[in-house]
Chains A and B, each alone.
Chain A
Amino acid sequence: MIRYYLEFEKTIEELELKIEELKRISDGKDIDISSEIKKLEKKVKELRSEIFSKLKPWQKTLIARHPERPYTLDYINLITSDFIELHGDRRFSDDPAIVGGVAKINDIPVIIVGHQKGRGTKERIYRNFGQPHPEGYRKALRLMKLAEKFKRPVITFIDTPGAYPGIGAEERGQAEAIAVNLMEMARLRTPIISIVIGEGGSGGALALGVADRLFMLEHSIYSVISPEGCAAILWKKNGDFSSEDFSKAADALKLTAQDLLSFKIIDGIIPEPLGGAHRDPEGIAKKISEFILTAIEELKTKTPGKLIEERYKKFRKIGSFKEETE
């Protein structure tokens, strides 16, 4: 199996290739090197724990964008049953960068909406690399309103580099589409649970994230600007950046799940399997579904009025300032 390894995983890659080679050599032969293989496997595990126990924010960014990382539709397949995808914003078109529909999680009917990145060049282009147009956000809101009407909880999966910067997107009101989602989600009279599964890229991510409960996967990120964008603004080098610049920017932005939990912006971190979510999609999906079910359990007894009052307060108190009196 050919896997995609990140730069800082090179030592792991070498060992794992060696293990595979040994397995191939020993296959069908009399020589027994299983103890050797076991030793190497143990070493890989140790090495991986070592590397993953002290990931830097930029490394987490790369994991959050890992091409093998599970995306919204993967989780929908793993977590839900009876999923029916619903399409279109009823105004302009259907945006493949956001998917959504009705489904059941553990026999509880829910509405699910999420950013969708593509796998492989063709699908990536089709999904516009998970960068929605205004119609994507309007579809998302339409489905959330549907959830409100039929008193279903809303589950959103956040995973986008950001809302798409293009001519059509501007012409059709990218900013307005996001703003309306923020306002309407704050007023939605049904529970909203959001999970950042990969990249939480600025306003384009937040437009699905005004929730009663907000969780992040252990190696996901959530930021006002990408490390690349931040580096470009701070160190204006005309596109000539090294990963060291991005690393510095990622440090400065404090964009990891752990940072956001310490700021009390999110309600919890969903632990990932060793090596990242893509190493065990079923395992992480099960954890995600547990978090969702617990949150639904907590929220379902609240009246719509209480829900939106608490949601309002949750966001209203976010801010870091002091007040001087003269």
Chain B
Amino acid sequence: MAWFKKTKGIRTDKKGKIPEGLWVKCDSCKEIVYKKEIDKNLKVCPKCNYHFRISARERLKLLVDEGSFVEMDEGIVSVDPLNFKDTISYKDRIKEKQKKSGLKEAAISGDALIKGYPVSLIIMDFSFMGGSMGSVVGEKVSRAAERAVEKKQPLIIVSSSGGARMQEGIFSLMQMAKVAAAIGRLRDNGILYISIMCDPTFGGVTASLATIGDIIIAEPKSLIGFAGARVIEQTIKQPLPDNFQRAEFLLEHGFIDIVVGRKNLKETLAKLFELLL
């Protein structure tokens, strides 16, 4: 038996990801905070209230009644329609991400209870290829929306995604139309759809499912937008305003209903159900 266990050093290269180690630098306020303190605080920075990215499974625990989640469509997996290859092939990249994350794709789907209210639920996981939406995520969302209509229960989608998945090309782009059409049917059938946007939500996900909720909620300080800040800066060649594309910025401009902290999310949803259903 080894006397010392080798621990991984702090990595600061990956933004928003909590590195292994005792101390963590907050992505928002850049303060160094004790990791245990963050963990205790639902992965929220105690200094600035920045909500760190959490996995879909962690999210699930915070959001639904214990033991109520029944996963669905977990068998849908990516194929490689374009035969896409960059440094490694898309097929290998998927396998690698599956191994690393223990997830099969960038979103999990299922039915659950939130304070006793049955819902159809989609939760995206940014750690799986940036939560990107390809054919699988598009299909899971569409099926969840159709189930919500069938079962007359609200649809809840928790987004955390860089947008459409480049590796599936035009198929990913068309998922935007597909999910928007499926969500359109909720409107025709009087089914509640609540969109919850977390850090970060961008591109094809913001420009399809995330911004057409009956009610749109965002976690504090989440970055939300259509184009990424770097692309905008390169295009307009001037610095961006403070707070640009943060949840509070979107609230101010009228594109989300409420900014709700992780701690109060479940409670808020239950109240909305009580008032609307």
Contact = CB atoms under 8 A, between A and B. Distances in A.
A105 interface: no
B178 A315 contact: yes
Given A203-B173, A318-B175, A230 B79 contact: no
Contact of A254 (B82, B203, B232): B82
Given A224-B169, A224-B204, A254-B169, A206 B177 contact: yes
B166 to A, nearest CB: 5
Interface in B120-148: 135-136, 138-139, 142
Contacts of B135: 318-321
B138 A166 contact: no
Interface residues of chain B: helix, strand, loop or mixed (majority) = helix
Interface string A158-182: 0000011111011111111011101
Contacts of A325: 75
Contact of B170 (A164, A234, A260): A260
Interface stretch (B34-42, B182-190, B268-276): B182-190
Contacts of B78: 320-321
Given A171-B253, A178-B226, A318 B174 contact: yes
Interface stretch (B18-26, B55-63, B207-215): B207-215
Contacts, number: 193
A304 to B, nearest CB: 13
A118 to B, nearest CB: 17
Contact of A224 (B86, B164, B244): B164
A164 B177 CA distance: 19
B273 to A, nearest CB: 23
* Contact-size category for A: 35 or more
Interface string A222-242: 111100001001110000000
Interface stretch (A10-18, A20-28, A65-73, A183-191): A183-191
A170 B227 contact: yes
A235 to B, nearest CB: 8
A83 B193 CA distance: 40
Contacts of B139: 319, 321
A33 to B, nearest CB: 50
Name which of A225, A259, A311 has the most chain B CB atoms within 10 A of its CB.
A225
B138 to A, nearest CB: 6
A253 B139 CA distance: 21
Contacts of A322: 76-77, 79
A91 to B, nearest CB: 11
Given A170-B226, A178-B226, A254-B82, A321 B77 contact: yes
Contacts of A260: 170
Interface residues of chain A: helix, strand, loop or mixed (majority): helix
B164 A319 contact: no
Nearest to A181: B180
B207 A203 contact: yes
A253 B83 CA distance: 9
B168 A187 contact: no
Nearest to B85: A252
A165 B184 contact: no
B173 A169 contact: no
Contact of B182 (A209, A225, A316): A316
A166 to B, nearest CB: 5
Contact of B225 (A170, A187, A207, A319): A170
Contacts of A217: none
A263 B170 contact: yes
A324 B77 contact: yes
Contact of A170 (B82, B181, B244): B244
A186 B164 contact: no
Contact of A186 (B173, B184, B210, B232): B184
A80 to B, nearest CB: 27
A255 interface: yes
A241 to B, nearest CB: 14
A210 interface: yes
Contacts of A206: 173-174, 176-177
B168 to A, nearest CB: 7
Closest 5 pairs between A and B when the two form their complex, measured CB to CB: A165-B227, A186-B181, A182-B180, A320-B81, A175-B206
